[in-house]
Amino acid sequence: MAGAKPTEQSRHMDRARYTAFAFTAADILLELDAAAVIRFAAGPTVDLIGREPDHLVGTPLFDLIAAEDKDYSRRLLDAVTDSDRADMMLIRIGDRRGRKIRFVMSARRVPEFGDRLFLALSRAKPNAAGDLARAAERDPESGLLVRDAFVAIAGEKLRTGSALGNPCRMTLLGFDGIDRLRGHYGDDGVGTVLAELGAALRARSIDGDSVGHLGADVYGVIHARDLGLDGVRRWLETQSRPLARGEPVTVRSVSFELNPGGLSEADAIRALAYTIDQFSAADGTLRLGSLVESHQAMLDATLGRMSDFRSAVSAGSFQVVFQPIVDLNSLEVHHHEALARFADHEAAGSADAMITFAEEIGMIAEFDLAMCRRVAMAMAAHGGGVGAPMVAVNLSARSLMSFHFMARLRAYLADLPAPVRQALMFELTETYDLADLDAANAVLQQLRAAGHLICLDDFGVGATNLDYLRQLEVDFVKIDGAYVQSAREGGRGAAFMKGLARLCADLGLRTVAEMVEDQTTADLLRAAGIGYGQGFLFGRPELELPRP
Ligand code: C2E
Ligand code: CA
Ligand code: CA
């Protein structure tokens, strides 16, 4: 009798058994109808999201899912077919107290149940990268991570993945030609393709959420070591083909392991950020194959340059030269500017390339501190610092805004003999990076209170505008060489110089003009009311600091 025909009871047992199996892999089971309304719910939903399973029935799934995950999960669920399931989507569901609980969700169809969709949700295990991702800033349009958040998560993965002996990979994808598509089809058509792409990338990424939208058409994905993204690349190329009338979008990509190699973690993270920026800045003239190699080479070269720079800084194997800043009326030297020279660097030892590199890679603060040490030593060599000539050291805005660096700098300055300390000035450079002028001013005032004169460098360049003069209380303003040149050419340049000199005088600021190469320029600047000059006319940068 038994076994011939399933009884109600045995059928019930089967269902219970299947459900039990399902719960070995999931916390919550949901069944959706064609309109994505929940038709069946089971599991500890009260504990996890504060709702009874019965109350979930009749609720549209997307009412539960957090705003930033709606679009992406909808796209992935729409793509689930009888043969193609979706796995490991990361989604957030709001509970009754407004907290967002993270789940890993899988979806599949079963042919016998027609248009029903079956979902299994498991509570995502908390991890540090996940916490970062949860708090991270997102691009409002794509819902993907912004560059800084992406770098932070990559850094976290680099730390933990290598510690566990299981490094992830990072792949950067750049789509060239999307702008052309926008021209043809408007933002909406292109937006749809990009949203699909974002969803596809998230589904392939670690934690379902490690995708960054890094530049206009540049994306980054952190993924498992063995996952190929070729499929994504091919998919986008096909997607774009009909749109572009036979001119598909070209995709360039580069992939590397998140592994600190021989570097400290902090340096490896800087190298990573630098490589991301280089990739984002590169244009479509680079093609796939060569780029993969050239970016790996670029990363290697970056690492090499970093360790060169680091050893130059720690061994002190760079030189310091001093260039006079002269009173345009009395022709007396007021102070010197300290400039760095790197011995085995091409371009006649010019500091520019090295300094720019150090800025971009985030090593400038260490370098600025090393410069201070070297300059203070040179000053102290002059009779124990008594009557030491005044020297201005360049201080990058990035260093100024690093709390950690400023604490070290202040501690270092406090230990200097008073005459050396008081003869040390600072030139604030690279100020276009300053986001918060009030905060910058507060730090500057601490330095001034300790007896240091401050010069605002590069005035007139980029964003260094009148707002800086209004909000930063300094002693000197150095007018950029480009303005000096245009003043020499007469007309508006000269009028501008005069107006600037007047404004600075009214604000109680002294003015320095740089790149003064001939007497005519010096005369013109003096007549315009500029107080000080620097340039080859008065002296080239020299190794020796003249004795007072
Ligand atoms: P800057 O601070 O504007 O420095 C002035 C640059 O102009 C120096 O180039 C100097 O050698 C050059 N110069 C001086 N007088 C004349 C002139 O009459 N004509 C011409 N054509 N050039 C003149 P340098 O040393 O190559 O420095 C380039 C930049 O690198 C500096 O611009 C500064 O932003 C940065 N830098 C140099 N040393 C340091 C440093 O120790 N720390 C930091 N943070 N930045 C530095
Ligand atoms: Ca300077
Ligand atoms: Ca300058």
Q: What's the gap in Å between 483 CA and the centre of ligand 3?
A: 10
User: How much is the pLDDT for 510?
Assistant: 97
DSSP one-letter string for 138-173: B-TTT-PBPHHHHHHHHHHHHHHHHHTT---EEEEE
Within a 10 A sphere around the Cβ of 500, how many other Cβ atoms? 23
DSSP 494-544: HHHHHHHHHHHHHTT-EEEE----SHHHHHHHHHHT--EE-STTT---BSS
Can you tell me the mean pLDDT for 403-407? 90
Closest listed ligand to the CA of 373: 1
Nearest CA to ligand 1 atom 45: 394
Q: Categorize the per-residue pLDDT at 78 as very low, low, confident or very high, splitting at 50, 70 and 90.
A: confident
Ligand in closest contact with the CA of 339: 1
Residues 6+ apart with CB under 8 A from 521: 484, 487, 488, 535, 537
* Best mean pLDDT range from 197-201, 230-234, 263-267: 197-201
CA of 536 to the centre of ligand 1 (A): 12
Give me the pLDDT at residue 3, please.
47
Asked if pLDDT for residue 348 goes beyond 50, the answer is: no
**Ligand showing the shortest atom-to-Cα distance for residue 517:** 1
First to last CA, the chain: 115
Ligand 2 centroid, distance to 487 Cα (angstroms) = 20
Strongest mean pLDDT among 8-17, 187-196, 282-291, 488-497: 488-497
What average pLDDT is seen over the chain?
82
Nearest to 172 by CA among 286, 69, 77: 286
Q: What is the pLDDT of residue 1?
A: 44
Mean pLDDT for 386-406 is 89
Pairwise pLDDT comparison (487 vs 185), residue with the higher score: 487
Cα–Cα distance measured from residue 377 to residue 316, given in angstroms and rounded to the nearest whole number:
12
Q: Could you tell me the maximum CA-CA distance found in the chain, to the nearest angstrom?
A: 119
- Among all ligands shown, which has an atom nearest to the Cα of 459? 3
Ligand 2 centroid, distance to 535 Cα (angstroms): 12
Cα angle value 47/53/58 (rounded, 5°): 135
pLDDT tier for residue 285 given thresholds of 50, 70 and 90: very low
Q: Which of 132-141, 287-296, 317-326 has the lowest mean pLDDT?
A: 287-296
Most confident of 169-183, 186-200, 386-400, 512-526: 512-526
- Ligand 1, atom 28, lies closest to the CA of 352
Q: Which helix (H) or strand (E) holds 250?
A: strand 250-257
Candidate ranges 104-108, 194-198, 348-352, 404-408; pick with highest mean pLDDT? 404-408
Ligand 1 test: best mutation among 339, 455, 464, 516, most atoms within 8 Å of CB? Answer: 339
Over range 18-34, report the average pLDDT.
83
User: Which residue is associated with the tokens 């007309």?
Assistant: 491
Atom of ligand 1 nearest to the CA of 537: 18
169 closest CA partner among 274, 304, 297, 296 = 296
Residues with CB under 5 A from ligand 3 (ion): 458
Q: Which has more pLDDT, 126 or 259?
A: 259
CA of 42 from ligand 3 middle (Å) equals 68
Q: Measured from the CA of 350, which atom of ligand 1 is nearest?
A: 26
Reported as type and span, the H/E element at residue 296 is helix 288-315
Tell how far the Cα of 69 is from the centroid of ligand 2, in angstroms.
48
Arithmetic mean of pLDDT, 21-27 = 77
Question: Which residues does ligand 1 sit against, CB inside 6 Å?
Answer: 323, 339-340, 350-352, 355, 364, 368, 371, 394, 396, 429, 457, 514-515, 517, 534-536, 541
Q: Is the pLDDT of residue 57 over 90?
A: yes
Ion ligand 2 — residues with CB under 5 Å? 394, 427, 457
Nearest atom, ligand 1, residue 430 CA: 34
Q: Which residue segments constitute the domains of the chain, with CATH numbers given?
A: 8-123 (3.30.450.20), 128-307 (3.30.70.270), 316-533 (3.20.20.450)
- Of 372, 430, 354, give the one whose Cα is nearest residue 396: 430
Atom of ligand 1 nearest to the CA of 541: 11
Of the candidate ranges 88-92, 151-155, 457-461, 537-541, the one whose mean pLDDT is the lowest: 88-92
Average pLDDT estimate for 60-88: 81
Return the percentage of the chain with pLDDT > 70, whole number. 82
State the distance from the centre of ligand 2 to the C-alpha of 340, rounded, in angstroms: 10
Q: What helix, strand, coil percent values describe the chain, rounded to 5? A: 50, 20, 30
Residue 278 CB-half CA count within 13 A: 21
The answer to whether residue 338 scores a pLDDT higher than 80 is yes
C-alpha to C-alpha distance for 274 and 357, rounded to whole angstroms? 9
Distance 440 CA to ligand 1 centre (A): 23
Q: Rounded to 5 degrees, what are φ and ψ at 36?
A: 65, 30
Q: Which of 336, 345, 366, 394 to mutate to test the pocket of ligand 1 (most atoms within 8 A of CB)?
A: 394
Neighbour-count burial for 528-541, b at 16+ CB within 10 Å, e otherwise = bbbbbbbbebbbeb
Q: State percent of the chain over pLDDT 90.
A: 32
pLDDT on residue 335: 96
Q: Give the highest mean pLDDT range of 127-141, 231-245, 497-511.
A: 497-511
**Could you tell me the CA-to-CA distances from 217 to 73, 246, 286 in Å, in that order?**
22, 20, 15
Ligand 1 atom closest to Cα of residue 371? 41
pLDDT tens sequence across 425-441: 999 998 777 888 999 99
Ligand approaching nearest to the C-alpha of 358: 1
State the distance from the centre of ligand 2 to the C-alpha of 456, rounded, in angstroms: 9
Per-residue pLDDT reduced to its tens digit, 360-390: 778 888 899 999 999 999 998 876 667 778 9
Q: What is the pLDDT of residue 450?
A: 93
Question: What mean pLDDT do residues 458-480 have?
Answer: 85
Signed CA dihedral, 291, 292, 293, 294: sign only: positive
Distance 512 CA to ligand 2 centre (A): 11
